[in-house]
Amino acid sequence: MIHPTAIISPKAELGANVSVGPYSIIGDHVTIHDDAELVSHVVIEGPCEIGKATKVLPFASLGQSPQDLKYKGEDTRLVIGQRNVIREYVTMNRGTVGGGGLTSVGDDNLFMAQTHVAHDCIVGSRNVFANLASLAGHVTVEDDAILGAFVGVHQFCHIGSHAFIGGMSKIVKDALPYARTDGTEAKCYGANTIGLRRKGFSNEAIRRIQQSFTLLLNSNLNTTQALEQIKSELAGSPEIDYLIEFIEKSQRGVTK
């Protein structure tokens, strides 16, 4: 299942049923697990690990050195989980020593064409990155988020689970979980109700989330006051407890 035009380092490790298409290049210290598919013209440099049944389409470049002027050739890694779909011209870079040395991607994500995951990013599972969505360094994206086309996320920002980020948005603060965030000067527009229903959230859970966002966005309370009221009136469910924790741990402030 290795095309004769592919170039594979003897220091790379390929699992069972791995398919490597024409003109692909696999460098030193790359591990590709079972049933992964590199369609064609894929370049992977190590140290890098590609999870089981991940599919990589033409001209993707994975595991190249970080685009950070402080990087001086240190041994850092990119680790990609299982069953991801990585479309054309996607780039994902290894980490830096200053950021922990690891760029990490979870399972079952879709990265559409020309998306970018920079050094030291931590991406969870079941996320969708539409065309040309880009993460600067040290960004965390949790689970089940959707980033629209041309979204740009500033370094060190945090995207919460089940967040929906509208196309062409500029994210310079943390994007709240369960929320719709949109705009070149991004603003939060409340609960992502349709997305939550599609993900199987109960009506009661959605009601609590909506009430929390009413307090955060549409009351005369500041964020600290709104959080106190959310804690007193709505805390106790996993969704609301996670929302409270996300806001309290934010280092850059949250987009409101």
Out of 46, 95, 108, 120, which one is annotated catalytic?
120
153's tokens? 């996320």
Give the number of other Cβ atoms within 10 Å of residue 203's Cβ.
9
Task: Tell the burial category of 137 from Cβ atoms under 10 Å away from its Cβ (0-12, 13-18, 19+).
Answer: buried
248's tokens? 């309290």
Out of 116, 119, 138, 162, which one is annotated catalytic?
119
Question: Is 119 known to be catalytic?
Answer: yes
Question: Is 137 known to be catalytic?
Answer: yes
Q: Which residues pair with residue 2 across a beta bridge?
A: 20
Q: Using a CB cutoff of 8 Å and minimum separation of 24, what contacts does 219-223 make?
A: 223/247, 223/254, 223/256
Question: Is 35 known to be catalytic?
Answer: no
Q: Which residues pair with residue 62 across a beta bridge?
A: 44, 92
Q: Which residues pair with residue 13 across a beta bridge?
A: 31
CB-based burial, 86-111: b 16+ in 10 Å, e otherwise: bbbbbbbbbbbebbebbbbbbbbbeb
**C-alpha–C-alpha distance, residues 15 and 234, integer Å:** 49
Out of 46, 106, 124, 137, which one is annotated catalytic?
137
What are the catalytic residues?
119-120, 137
